[in-house]
Structure formats: structure tokens, C-alpha cells
Structure 1
């Protein structure tokens, strides 16, 4: 399974989270680094994209040697990286793409500028099987106050699926909602444990992609991914002074 994501030096989010999630679910990750960050468990302080042509060469080399069953993206670095991936996917129209539209770190640090957002919206959103924004990202991307209206706006712009994740909300349960054109909204709920965690969005999207790579339907992949994330949160690690990090190396299926 191909992963294109950024490097988090704290090991809580980004490429490391994706690798751990995919591996725990029985997949083999093919990790391509899209950007470097200055980051800890509290915030992102700086970021720099990897050269887009180098990424193009990596994608071509991997495609010529390995079977790719799904693609997951995180922080993309810049618009040039988006263009390289979009060109790669245009040649593989049946490859499932699970897109985590990383915009800001939980601490508020920026991970995408307007040029990058425009490139993702025009080149990758229409290609993705599902995008997985949290509530804050969804209302920003859809330019609407409510999550439902924002999801509708994105679908009118070409999104095939929007999974609105509820980890940044409040209340005793986390509600994730899957919006798809001409489908009823599908809801999942899991118990909310503690506050917020560093890297849950990455983990969820990577776990969904791992399920799709293994041949699960999108809904079954989401179901499995939610149970996986819940188990990882229940084994969260105090890595730094900021948010706890889900333990994606905990036993799967998760221990009770």
C-alpha cells in the first residue's frame, strides 16, 4: 500500500503513524516522504516539502516493482507534490485513494497554504474514494458553517465521499459520518476516551486504506479502522508534554 505523507519527528503523526497502522493491520507500507516538519506532541513549527521530481522518481520506481492496492495521503508539502501524485493516479484510475486533508496541526500550526489547498481540491478531491477531514477542516474546506452543508458543497465540487470525523468534538461519544452522493448518511459512534490525541486522524485514514487494500468495502474498512483507532487510544503513550500518542503497536484486535 502506497503512503505519501510528512515526517513527524515526535513519531506521533504523519508517516510513522501510517506505517504503524498499516503494518498492524497486516499490510505492507510503501512510504514516500512528502515533507519534513519541525514538530512535537504540542504543535508544528515549520515544514518544508520534498522535491517533487524526486517523489515522481520514487513513485515510478515503486510502480515498476511492487503491487499497489491502495493509496493514502497526509500532509502533501506543496502544490507541485500534489501534481506529481495526481499525474501518477491518472494512469491508475481504479486505485483507491484515501485522502486525509491535513491543513493544520492540533496546536494551530499550518501545514497547507492556499495554493496547496486549491491543488488538492481540483486534482485530488475528485479522484479520492473518500476524504477524511475533522470537523474544523471540513467547514474550512467546504466554506460552510455546518458539517453537513460543507460536505454537500464538497460533493457538489466532485468529492465521491466525505468522512467527517468527530475526534475534535465534545460529548461522551465520537461520531463519524460518511457522506456520499445519492446515499443516506452513515454514522458510526465510539466512546470518547479523555481529551484529544496526537495522530488519530492519520491513524484512521491509514487504517481505512489498509482495509481497502485488503479488499474490504469502504464501509467495512471504516468500521475496522474505528475499532483499531479506539484500541490504539486505549493504549495511548505519554511521549511528550503535549497530546498523548495512540499506541498503534498495541495488540490487534485490541485488548479489552
Structure 2
């Protein structure tokens, strides 16, 4: 996914929380976009106090500020995809809903961040209701893990959750199997047209900080490059799995995905 003409590089707008540890959030999004030879522009929804071990505090940003920043970036940089992560407040959800309606040409990938990788809840009942009411049906793709899919849909099995989520109007749902207790991770993609495809990946040892951000951003940037959804999802999974396989330790707890593994010195051609 390289281009010789720097002017052709697509821009991806990433909207999410700032994780100062760099494992998840906006920094993870930006690395995933850069790894695909595209350019990230970012708007922060919340400042967080967290590290590789978990979250201590979250401070949502004013939704008016987010609204203005998103509009300014879209007008200036003409992004070709929109990736959403932690949304932090009902006002932010509603602001993004209006912006999406004004730009129907933009594919929208939502990683519904409902909890941290350490299991800490980030969304209350009111915000969850706003997500269901205002945002889900406006998205091109949702990328929940199975616990998140159950919370969003009130279903149980992956198939049941996908059916309920697709009934809201979202076009595609990718339910990941990272939280299953199985030897392989099975990721399942469902479309509003009734198509269903599954991929099995060897389960890697260890816990990872930002794997969901990595996958969703990797899909968004591939859509920005013009790939079809199934191809983008397949390619992004391969990239994400390799990033996790080459993860490294930056703190005391969860490992950080090596999202720029193609650019590390031992992978450079001589």
C-alpha cells in the first residue's frame, strides 16, 4: 500500500480519546494510518489518565470544540474516511451524527469503545442510549468484540448480536473473538445484504493495549485507499495480527502493538 506520489496519499480523520501511554486511542489510530502510507488527522474527544495497566480518569472535551475542529479539518483536508473510537459524551455523539449526515460520501468505521483493555467501563446507560439512537445506523462498519456487541444489541451469540445491530441500519458488523476462551480467535463479518464471512487467527499469548483501535483504524485507512469492505477487513486483520505478534513492552502491564513493524530497523531492506 505504497504510493510514489505524495500528493495522492489519502487523509483519514480519526476521532477518539488521547491515551498518553500510546498503546490505544488517537496515537494508535495515527500509527495504523501511517503504516498504510496514508496521513492521519486527529480530533481528541477526551483526555485520559491511563497507562499500560489501566485507566484512572477521563475528561471529555467540550462537544462544541470537537464540532468546530472536525468541520475545520474536513473542509481543509478532505479526508476519505472517518474512524471513531472513544466518544466520551452524549454531546459528542450528537455532534458527530450531524457531521456524518453532512458528508454521506465518507465511510465511517466505529470502534465502540465501551471498556478499557483492562475491563474498566467507559460508557454509562445514558451514553449507550445515545449511541444506539443517534450513531449506529449512520456507520458503515462497527467493530465490537463480542462483549461489546452484546452490550450494544442485548443479544447473546455473535449471529444474534449481528442481526440486531444490522437491524439498526448499520451496513456492516465485524464481531471479533478476542475475548473468547478458544485456541483461535474467530472474527466474523456480517453485511446488511446477508453475507457472512469468518476468519480464524492463532491466539497470541499475552494481553495487548490498543488491539481494537489498531484493527478499526487499519480498516478505515484501507477504505480510504478505495478497497472494498471485505478486502479491507481481511487485509487489516493480517496487519493487526502481525502488529500483535511483534508487540513490545513499553510499561509494566499490557503489551503495545508494534504498528510500525514494517519500518523497524530489522525489517528494512539493506
TM-score (norm. length: structure 2): 0.90
Corresponding position of 1:55: 66
- C-alpha separation in 2, matches of 1:63 and 1:211: 18
Corresponding position of 2:149: 138
Corresponding position of 2:5: none
- Paired residues in the alignment total 255
Aligned residues: CA RMSD? 1.6
Contact 2:117–2:210 (8 Å) recurs in 1: no
Matched, 1:161 2:204: no
- SS of aligned partner of 1:203: helix
Deviations 1:142-196 (A, max 9, x none): 1122221111111122222110011222323211101122323111122211133
Corresponding position of 2:215: 204
Distance 1:189 1:252, change over 3 A: farther
Question: Of the candidates 160, 163, 177, which is equivalent to residue 152 of structure 1?
Answer: 163
- SS of aligned partner of 2:261: coil
- C-alpha separation in 2, matches of 1:238 and 1:74: 23
Matched, 1:66 2:77: yes
Matched, 1:91 2:99: no
- SS of aligned partner of 2:235: helix
Q: Tell me by how many angstroms 1:58 deviates.
A: 0.7
Q: Tell me by how many angstroms 1:106 deviates.
A: 2.1
The gaps in structure 1 that reach 5 residues or longer are none
Corresponding position of 1:38: 49
Matched, 1:104 2:128: no
- SS of aligned partner of 1:48: strand
- C-alpha separation in 2, matches of 1:147 and 1:197: 22
- SS of aligned partner of 1:29: strand
For 1:178-193, list aligned pairs within 5 A.
178-193=189-204
Q: Tell me by how many angstroms 1:252 deviates.
A: 6.7
Matched, 1:216 2:230: no
Contact 2:206–2:255 (8 Å) recurs in 1: no
Deviations 1:69-121 (A, max 9, x none): 00000001101011111111111112100000000112222211222211221
For 1:15-34, list aligned pairs within 5 A.
15-34=26-45
- SS of aligned partner of 1:19: helix
The gaps in structure 2 that reach 5 residues or longer are 1-11
Question: Of the candidates 241, 246, 255, which is equivalent to residue 235 of structure 1?
Answer: 246
- SS of aligned partner of 1:244: coil
Contact 1:25–1:252 (8 Å) recurs in 2: no
Segment of structure 1 superposing worse, 190-199 or 12-21: 190-199
For 1:77-88, list aligned pairs within 5 A.
77-88=88-99
